[in-house]
Structure 1
Amino acid sequence: MSKYTNFNKSLEQRFIKYAKIDTQSDPASPTCPSTEKQKNLGKNLVQELLEIGISDAEMDENGYVYGTIPATSEKKLPVIFFCSHMDTSPDCSGENVKPIIHDNYQGQDLILPDDPSIVLKMAEHKDLKHQIGNDIITASGTTLLGADNKAGLAAIMEAASFLMKNQTVKHGTIKVLFTPDEEIGRGVDKVNLAKLGADFGYTIDGETLGSIEDETFSADGAVLLINGVSTHPGFAKGKMESAIKIMADIIAALPKETLTPEATHQKEGFIHPVSFSGQVEQAEAHFIIRDFTDEKLAEHGKFLEETVKTIMRNYPNSTYSLEIKAQYRNMKQVLDKYPKIVEYGVEAIERAGIVAKPQSIRGGTDGSRLSYMGLPCPNIFAGEHAFHSKQEWVSVQDMEKAVQTIINIAMIWEEKG
């Protein structure tokens, strides 16, 4: 095994540099990338790739960063890629992030200085109990940290630098892909598969040390439009049918103990209203629908429509339209056809001296859609925790293990090729 070491603390320096660049994406924007500021990080990454010797590194007009680590093996091997996303979530501010390193964590509460009410407690962050003696990075209390997914960016960049410097490490051609807009579900909308030129890959966007995820939700989005009957409120008796109240009735009729995010876990799916706007005459709501099988996903869509029909019977002069569109599908349906991709990922984790933890994601990754675009792509841990929040944190030592796992994956495919 070729051992990676975090020489001169380059890993945390990379991560902190990336975290300070505001790359928040915007679901309301029609452009790609959705925010121009994501390209600021993209330009930095291209420059770093060029500096370590990746001569074809470039960012295209849509904000995607590509680069090639040339093969050091003479074997005919598949081309693999490693992918992370550059944007951070719209759910929490990513402006003026101030990363703080808490050296040699000993289980204490981590009080964030810019807002002392934000406290990371081991009782609330279970993975902290495995971090004794490690170095924890948080933000300062007023923003997210951006470990999702800048921990993955830093890990891939460190692995790329290591492989370019250590030409005796045998591996095939490796591609690097950094995407915009993953947090708003558009991370691979405009990826150039010909430019990428890979056979399969791994996203580095997982949480707990050792996790490898080969299963995601299948996902649909639904838009419900209610056309009510508007009249002057002073003369509305027996005439008005408020679209606002109709929509409220529909949302209230959805289950509260099941089929909703706050009451489900593990392999349970849900119907989740995520936005609602309107007036008396017309109202619109957006829903996300999730489950691990396409069959159950379809059942949830039918349940939503039956609920709408039931409520609409109380409003005979009003009408509705419900449009349900596919967003992404469970990548396990693809990955099960290529078992070596996950098997070698598990072996790479174990070679790094940690226990591999195969898991399912109650969400999706760029890998979900890439898998259905012909590039099977499981998800490997990056060490990020408490995503999309001011309590977000990452362990330097977990990121080091992610770097070693990436290097191990490259070596295993060469050894067994």
Structure 2
Amino acid sequence: MSDLIINTLTNSGVEERFLRYVQVDTQSDPSSSTYPSTEKQKNLGRILVDELLALGIDDAHLDEYGYVYATIPANSNTPVPVICFCSHMDTSPDCSGTGVKPVVHRNYQGGDITLPDDSSVVIKPSEHPDLRNQVGNDLITASGTTLLGADDKAGVAEIMTAAQLLMTYPEIKHGTLKILFTPDEEIGRGVDKVDLTKLGADFAYTLDGETAGSIEDETFSADGVTVLINGVSVHPGFAKGKLQSAIKIASEIIHTLPKDRLSPESTNSREGFVHPVSINGGVEQATLEFIVRDFVDNQLETHERELENIVKTVVAKYPGCSYRFSVKEQYRNMKQVLDKHLQIMEIGLEAIRRAGMQPLRRSIRGGTDGSRLSFMGLPCPNVFAGGHAFHGRQEWVSVQDMEKAVRTILHIAALWEEHA
């Protein structure tokens, strides 16, 4: 009965929700030390809480750190593990999220999509091959001057729509379900202040993936590296033979990095990389920030040794200068945890099949809130939300793929009850 009800649900309202949510500016800020990093993220949180309360989900609330918590009570007498569905509310600081104007392209018939507010922004099937699977579907883009925010307001809209349907159709049997919406995922702080005891879930699924039908149980492992260069500052009018500019040394380090390997531009699939993300400072002192990524933990150490050898070799050419090299763990490959709980993925894969798709089991060349949640004791793979071309003005999502994600959530909830 549950399968029949779920698979006949159409026009669920996910499009309308999504169009509203993306117009709320929730961009996070990596330079901020507050939680959340921007107060405006709470504006969407308050909207979501009001909507959840209106659905009859009585414990929905927004906490001081910008997290939204809610519980959909069980409607089954069978003991079922408590399952959480999670998405993040913030959008990337890489591209403006202010004044988003979503545009719906009905019945897409292939070809390029030129965005109305900036004709130089063109979404091309040659650059976005997933568009070739969208003929006949309704696509949503921004207008050309901002990102769209499908990462991850598509996931938020899908979870909210699934919550409404679960509260409307008691025929869909399920155990206790938890909802968690997080701030600051885009700047790596998405679960810094989450209260897992209050959440009370056994397992979770983030809705933060890309292509319809995909589910990801593996992420990069990630470290951050900070290199502090101490130069020798001398008045430039009297600097000959004396001045040793820290910012020039830092630039030489970046120039010495491998060009044909070990960078995001030259790697794919399961290859890791070392990526400089910022350089700050001046003559006397300069700081380089790197991110280091690989699917295998000990390869991170290999990459970091190579990076430090480059730093050491460059700095050695400048007597009187010194450096400090520090490594900070960011997150680890969630597969290390998920392989100990195989049922989570088995149910996710079956839910995708029941929603009418061929499941695609993938690895993420990145991370999600689920990466850290898994190591905090809440095993959490990542399910597709349907968005594409994240963090830029060419971002797009298919309404039909969002509908498929809603059905997948419902099937996951029903399957945990069925298997119990």
Question: Same fold by TM (over 0.5)?
Answer: yes
User: Would you say 1:266 and 2:279 are equivalent positions?
Assistant: no
- Which residue pairs with 2:239 in the alignment? 236
- Which residue pairs with 1:382 in the alignment? 385
Residues of 1 paired with 2:383 and 2:112: CA distance?
28
Residues of 1 paired with 2:346 and 2:31: CA distance?
39
User: Would you say 1:59 and 2:47 are equivalent positions?
Assistant: no
| Residues 141, 390 of structure 1: 8 Å contact kept | yes
User: Would you say 1:350 and 2:353 are equivalent positions?
Assistant: yes
User: Would you say 1:23 and 2:26 are equivalent positions?
Assistant: yes
CA apart distance, 1:296: 0.3
- Which residue pairs with 1:219 in the alignment? 222
Uncovered stretches (5+) of structure 1, i.e. residues with no partner: none
CA RMSD of aligned residues (A): 1.0
Residues of 2 paired with 1:113 and 1:314: CA distance?
53
305, 311, 314: which one aligns with 2:314? 311
Task: Return structure 1 stretches of 4+ with deviation > 4 angstroms.
Answer: 4-9
Residues of 2 paired with 1:35 and 1:245: CA distance?
34
User: Would you say 1:180 and 2:211 are equivalent positions?
Assistant: no
Residues of 1 paired with 2:75 and 2:173: CA distance?
5
User: Would you say 1:295 and 2:336 are equivalent positions?
Assistant: no
* Partner secondary structure for residue 3 of structure 1: helix
User: Would you say 1:106 and 2:109 are equivalent positions?
Assistant: yes
Residues of 2 paired with 1:143 and 1:236: CA distance?
46
Residues of 2 paired with 1:95 and 1:51: CA distance?
28
User: Would you say 1:37 and 2:40 are equivalent positions?
Assistant: yes
CA apart distance, 1:323: 0.8
- Which residue pairs with 1:166 in the alignment? 169
CA separation of 1:161/1:92 partners in 2, compared to 1, >3 Å: closer, same or farther?
same
Residues of 2 paired with 1:4 and 1:92: CA distance?
36
Larger mean CA deviation between 154-163 and 108-117 belongs to: 108-117
One-letter amino acid of the structure 1 residue matched with residue 286 of structure 2? A
CA apart distance, 1:238: 2.2
Q: How does 1:42-121 map to 2 (within 5 A)?
A: 42-121=45-124
Give aligned-pair identity as a percent: 66
Aligned residues between the structures = 417
- Which residue pairs with 1:283 in the alignment? 286
* Partner secondary structure for residue 405 of structure 1: helix
CA apart distance, 1:6: 5.8
CA apart distance, 1:4: 5.2
397, 407, 410: which one aligns with 1:404? 407
CA apart distance, 1:253: 1.1
CA apart distance, 1:200: 1.0
Residues of 1 paired with 2:315 and 2:256: CA distance?
12
- Which residue pairs with 1:416 in the alignment? 419
CA apart distance, 1:241: 1.3
Uncovered stretches (5+) of structure 2, i.e. residues with no partner: none
CA apart distance, 1:108: 2.8
CA apart distance, 1:237: 2.3
One-letter amino acid of the structure 1 residue matched with residue 339 of structure 2? D
| Residues 250, 311 of structure 1: 8 Å contact kept | yes
| Residues 244, 280 of structure 1: 8 Å contact kept | yes
One-letter amino acid of the structure 1 residue matched with residue 227 of structure 2? L
Residues of 2 paired with 1:121 and 1:5: CA distance?
33
| Residues 6, 411 of structure 2: 8 Å contact kept | no
One-letter amino acid of the structure 1 residue matched with residue 306 of structure 2? F
| Residues 12, 161 of structure 2: 8 Å contact kept | no
| Residues 24, 89 of structure 1: 8 Å contact kept | yes
CA apart distance, 1:222: 0.8
User: Would you say 1:254 and 2:257 are equivalent positions?
Assistant: yes
Deviations 1:241-297 (A, max 9, x none): 111111111111110100001001010111111000111111111100000010101
